[in-house]
Amino acid sequence: MKLIKTIFIITLAICNTAQSQELILEEHFDGNQLNEAIWNYELGDGCPDLCGWGNNERQIYTNENIEVRDGNLVITAKFDGTTYTSGKINTRKHIEFLYGTIEVRAKLATGKGIWPAIWMLGSDISEVGWPKSGEIDIMEYVGKNPHEIHTTLHTPDSHGQSKNTKITTIETVEDGFHIYKCHWTKDFIKFYIDDALVYTFSPEVKDDNTWPFEKPFYLLLNLAVGGNFGGPEVDDAIFPQEFSIDYVKVFKD
């Protein structure tokens, strides 16, 4: 009887949490093309303002490396013997929000030099720059370090470094799809993998330097090649590599 009561209480708590949030994005990629009412393509190599996208990355982003196929968003990194290409999209000016839950079910691209990511940036980045804008890295994976998922917060206090970070080791993370989730409130940011809590960020002092998270953010999905974090070495024999996203859900508090 106690077990039944406990299950009931837990279920009720989950339901109440879900009911208190507004679903503002539910994208299952069921069509045959990207919905540009939600997503923007980011194109090029970041030049002239941010060559190598600020991280010495090797890829050029194109819209041809992004497709909607078999119910998934598929971002493919390619190498033609000379040039690396890949894809990057964001929800800027379409879906921007302050506080909520972001949930993404995805299957990783793998191999040395590969760097898939699910992340967020402050919508004021054009005005204040980075890292004053804040950055929430829900999931980063670098193929040179198998089985490791990185969750990170970038703030002015960290001077752009990965000071507020957690590495979670999952031996099977390269196998199939996994759910990456972030719950962001005015008091904390919590990260989950397959519904297991892996990291909580809640600095004692919350100011512009430690907590640039009291403003709207937007979502990004991309697959980078090489760079300061993903590289520097790249195994050219691994290409093409696919980063597949089954769904994206955003609930606003």
Asked if 164 contacts 153 with a C-beta cutoff of 8 angstroms, the reply is: yes
Residue with tokens 């050219």: 236
Cβ neighbours around 249 below 10 Å, total: 18
Name the catalytic one among 57, 67, 103, 135.
135
Taking the C-alpha atoms of 33, 240, 220 and 83 in order, what is their torsion angle to the nearest 10 degrees?
-110
Clarify whether 135 is annotated catalytic. Answer: yes
Q: 27, 57, 140, 242: which is the annotated catalytic residue?
A: 140
Name the DSSP letter for residue 104: E
> 196-201, long-range: CB within 8 Å, 24+ apart, which pairs?
198/149, 198/151, 198/166, 198/168, 199/151, 199/166, 199/168, 201/153, 201/164
Contact 215, 123 (CB under 8 A): yes
Q: Outline where 20-129 has alpha helix (H).
A: 125-128
What are the residue numbers of the active site?
Answer: 135, 140
